[in-house]
Structure 1
C-alpha cells in the first residue's frame, strides 16, 4: 500500500519506512560508535589496537585465545587500523617499500563502502604516498602524492601485513613501524609529532556493537542525524534521505520524539527491535551455501542494498572487496551436521585444487563465540603460517579434530575444542576462479 502524494503515510507504510531507516542507518551509527571507542586514548595502544584520530594503531603481535576484543581474528597478518578525520584537511598515508611482502590497506567510507584499496594487488610493494581527501576539499597536492577521494569526512584504514609465522614477527614489526599517516600540512615535516589524543570518560567501554544495539530510538536516530551532517549520503540514497526527512530525521538535527507526530515516534521506537531482528535474520543469507561453506563474493561495496550492508556489518565490520580477500565460513560438515570436537574431520583438496590465492590462504579454528581455541601446540590456523604437507599424489588433507593425529599427519592438524566450533577459510588476493565460483571449497567430511 502506498499513500497518495502529499498525504500522510499510512500506518503500515510508516512502520516499514521506520524499519528501513534503521537498517539504512545502522552501518553509519556503528562506524561512528566504533570510531569513538577506537580513538579514545591519549597515544597509540598496540595491545588493544587503538590510537587517536589520524594516527595508526599498530598491533605488536597476532591475537591469542585469551584476547576477546575482536570476533574472528586472523593470525595471518598484523593489523594496522587508522581512523581519519578529513574535515579540516586531507590526511597523507605513507607506505614504505615492503620488499615484495603482501600488505593490504583498504580505505572505507563512514558508510562502510571500500573507497579504494592500497596494497600489493593494486599499487605494488614499492614506497608510495596517498592523500585521502574529504568530500569538500579542492586543492593541489605535492608532486608524487596520489589522491584518494573520500565521499565522507570519516574514513577508516583497516591495514593488514602478511606474517609468515612467529619467526617473522620482528621483520613485520620493523616494516609496520614505518607506516605513517599525518595531516597534509605536516607532509615532509621530519620534526612532526602527532598531537596527544583525548580520553572522553563518557565513551562506553563495552563493545561498540553492543552499545548500538542498546540505543533507544531517540539516541539511535539522533546519532544517525548527527553523523550524516559530516558524512553525506550517496546520490543514489536520495529516496531514502527523503524518507528519513518524512520521519523527522534531518542531517545535523537532534531527533526529538516528543516533537514529532505520536504515530511517527511510535514507529521509530518499534523500528529498533524490528530493524535489529531483520538485520540479524539477513546475516544467514549473506553469501551462498557451497558445500556447507557460506561464500560471499559481493561485499565491500553495496550500492543501495542496505540490508546486505547492514547484515555484513552486523557480522563483522570492515568487509573487503572480493578481489582483496574472501572469507568462506563453515559451521557444518558435508551432511549438514554441526561441527563438533566429538568427531574427527578431513578437509580434502584434490591435486592442484588447494585454495587459489595470489597471496596466501589459511583455515582458522574458532569456538562458537568466534574466538581462537586454546590447544596443546598453540596452533590456531593451518595454511601459510603452518604449511601443510601434501600427499604423494599432490592432494592435501587437513585433519580437524580435538586429539593429535598420527605423527606423519601432525603438520596438517588443526586442533579443535571438545565442543562445537566453526572454521574460516581465508583467501588473500583470491584468483578469479574463486570470485566467479569455478573453484569451490570442498565439504568438511567425517574421518572414516
Structure 2
C-alpha cells in the first residue's frame, strides 16, 4: 500500500487555512471524484486509490465512534497495569487527584474512586454504596445503566443524591446484557436496586466531598465503606482493596496513534455483541477488527491506521473547539464564551430522538469520561453543571504564556461548592503546572472583593498579592478551564447570575 497522497494534500490544505471551496479544488477531491474507469470498470490505480480511501475513512470514523468506549477501556487497562484488577480493587485518590495521574478532565476538588467491573467474568455484581457518595454506574460506552422505575421515573446511572438512594447509601445489583429474566426470588439483598448494563464491562465512579482541604478523613472513610462482590457470594468474596492512586501515578489516557486500534480490538474481543452496534462493527471489519479473530494489520495497513488515528483525534479537537458551540444550546450565554458540552440534556446525545448528535458526543468524550442524568439534566439544587471555555473574551484561544482574569459575581449559585480547574489543551488531563492541584475551589477560601465577588487569575506568574486566587499556566501550552457548580441553584438556570469571560490582562 503506497503513501496516502490525497489525504496528505487535503490535510496540508486545511493546515494552510484554505476554505472548503479551495480544498475541493485541490487535487484530492477532484482525483477521487474523477477517478478513471475504463469500459465501466476501475483501472488498477483507481481501485488502489479508492480502496485506500475507503479504509482511511472507515478507520477515521471508527476512531470517532469508539471514543467513549476506548476512553474508558484505556482507563481500565491503565488502572489495572498499576493497581491490579478485579471487582474488589477500587483505587482511591486519597489526597485528591493530581496532574501526575493522566486522565481526561479529572476533578481535583473531590475525593475520587474509580473501579472496573467485569460482568462476563464474575456474573451479576452487588455494589453496596455508602451514604454520602455521589456516584455513577456506566457501561463501557459510557451510557448510564438502566435501573428500576419508582416515583414515576426510571433511574439511570446515578448513585447518591441524584440516585434512588437519595444520598443515604444503597445496594445496587448489576446484571450483564445477556442476563435473562429477573434474579431468583430470595437471591437479591433486601431493598436492592437492580440495574442492567448493555456491556459486560461496567465503570464504577465514586466522588465524596469535603469542607476542609486539610482534612480528608471523612470522604476517605465513606469510600472505604464500599463493598463489591458477586451476587450470592458476599461471605466468600475477595476482601476489598483501596490502593492510594496518588502513590503510583497512572496513565489512563486513550491513544492518539495506531495503538488505538489495537486497544479497540481488545475491547471488541471482551464485549457483548449488541445488535445495535452491528453497522459500526462492519466498519471495524473493513479495517481488520472482528470479535474472536486476531488483529494483525500489515505494516502498510498500520501506517494507514496511524494516519487515521492522528486525523480522527485532531478532528475530535476541531469538533470541541469550533463545532459544538454552533449546536443549539452549545453556549450557555449568547454574549460569552462558556460552552455547554451537554446542550441536549441527554446522556445518549439523542435529545432530538431522530438522530445521535455525533458532534456533541465525540466532542465530549475526547475531553471527558462518565455521564449520568445528574450531570446533564437541569436540576435545581442537585447534580452539577460544567461550563467550559478554551477562549478568552475576544474569542482567542487561551495561551499559557499570557495572563488573564476571571470575574465571578457575588453569590455564586452552587449549593454544595464551586471550583475552577485548568486542563491541558491536548490531552485534557489536569494541567501539570507545578501546583499541588491545578484547581481552586470554594473550600480554598479565595479572597473575595468588598462586594462579595471573586476574581481569579491565570498566568505563568501570580499577580502581586493575588497568589491565593491564582492558577499557574505553562508558557507554550494552550489550556482550557472548567467552572464546576455542584448542586447549581436557580440563579444559574435563570441566568440572573452569569460568570464573566476570561479576559487577557492588557
Alpha-carbon spacing, 1:192–1:15, altered in 2? closer, same or farther (3 Å): closer
Contact 1:68–1:371 (CA<8 Å) still a contact in 2? no
Alignment of 1:78-157 (within 5 A): 78-87=111-120, 88-98=122-132, 103-115=133-145, 116-122=157-163, 123-138=165-180, 139-140=183-184, 141-157=188-204
Distance 2:437 2:64 in 1: 38
Give SS of 1:16's match.
helix
Contact 1:93–1:130 (CA<8 Å) still a contact in 2? yes
Query: How far does the alpha carbon of each residue in 1:368-394 deviate from its partner, in whole angstroms, 9 at most, with x for none?
Result: 67425335xx67533322134544444
Alignment of 1:289-308 (within 5 A): 291-298=336-343, 300-303=347-350, 304-306=356-358, 308=360
Distance 1:398 1:341 in 2: 15
Query: How far does the alpha carbon of each residue in 1:30-49 deviate from its partner, in whole angstroms, 9 at most, with x for none?
Result: 433432221235xxx5xxxx
Shift of 1:25: 3.1
Shift of 1:145: 1.0
Match of 1:329 among 359, 363, 388: 388
Check if 1:213 corresponds to 2:257.
Answer: yes
Shift of 1:90: 1.3
Match of 2:208 among 156, 161, 167: 161
Alignment of 1:268-283 (within 5 A): 271-283=308-320
Contact 1:297–1:326 (CA<8 Å) still a contact in 2? no
Contact 1:322–1:435 (CA<8 Å) still a contact in 2? no
Alpha-carbon spacing, 1:240–1:442, altered in 2? closer, same or farther (3 Å): same
The corresponding residue for 1:32 is: 73
Shift of 1:226: 1.4
TM-score of the aligned structures, taking structure 1 as reference length: 0.75
Contact 1:21–1:244 (CA<8 Å) still a contact in 2? yes
Contact 1:25–1:224 (CA<8 Å) still a contact in 2? no
Shift of 1:134: 0.8
Contact 1:346–1:400 (CA<8 Å) still a contact in 2? yes
Alpha-carbon spacing, 1:97–1:26, altered in 2? closer, same or farther (3 Å): closer
Check if 1:183 corresponds to 2:230.
Answer: yes
The corresponding residue for 2:408 is: 349
Distance 2:490 2:273 in 1: 34
The corresponding residue for 2:280 is: 240
The corresponding residue for 1:202 is: none
Distance 1:245 1:399 in 2: 50
Alpha-carbon spacing, 1:231–1:213, altered in 2? closer, same or farther (3 Å): farther
Give SS of 1:175's match.
helix
Shift of 1:29: 3.6
Contact 1:348–1:396 (CA<8 Å) still a contact in 2? yes
Distance 1:313 1:254 in 2: 27
Check if 1:414 corresponds to 2:470.
Answer: yes
Query: How far does the alpha carbon of each residue in 1:87-116 deviate from its partner, in whole angstroms, 9 at most, with x for none?
Result: 132111112233xxxx32111211122331
Distance 1:63 1:35 in 2: 17
The corresponding residue for 1:383 is: 441
Shift of 1:60: 1.7
In structure 2, list runs of 5 or more residues that go unmatched: 1-32, 34-41, 146-156, 243-248, 351-355, 378-382
Query: How far does the alpha carbon of each residue in 1:270-320 deviate from its partner, in whole angstroms, 9 at most, with x for none?
Result: 644443343343232345355233331247433544454344332233355
Give SS of 1:40's match.
helix
Alignment of 1:244-255 (within 5 A): 244=284, 249-255=289-295
TM-score of the aligned structures, taking structure 2 as reference length: 0.67
Alpha-carbon spacing, 1:431–1:133, altered in 2? closer, same or farther (3 Å): farther
Contact 2:392–2:502 (CA<8 Å) still a contact in 1? yes
In structure 1, list runs of 5 or more residues that go unmatched: 2-7, 198-204
Contact 1:56–1:180 (CA<8 Å) still a contact in 2? no
Give SS of 1:159's match.
strand
Shift of 1:152: 0.8
Check if 1:52 corresponds to 2:86.
Answer: yes
Contact 2:71–2:254 (CA<8 Å) still a contact in 1? no
The corresponding residue for 1:403 is: 462
Distance 1:167 1:224 in 2: 40
Check if 1:374 corresponds to 2:421.
Answer: no
Contact 1:86–1:153 (CA<8 Å) still a contact in 2? yes
The corresponding residue for 2:486 is: 428
CA RMSD for the aligned pairs? 4.0
Distance 1:415 1:264 in 2: 44
Give SS of 2:366's match.
helix
Distance 1:224 1:245 in 2: 14
Check if 1:441 corresponds to 2:499.
Answer: yes
Alpha-carbon spacing, 1:28–1:125, altered in 2? closer, same or farther (3 Å): closer
The corresponding residue for 1:200 is: none
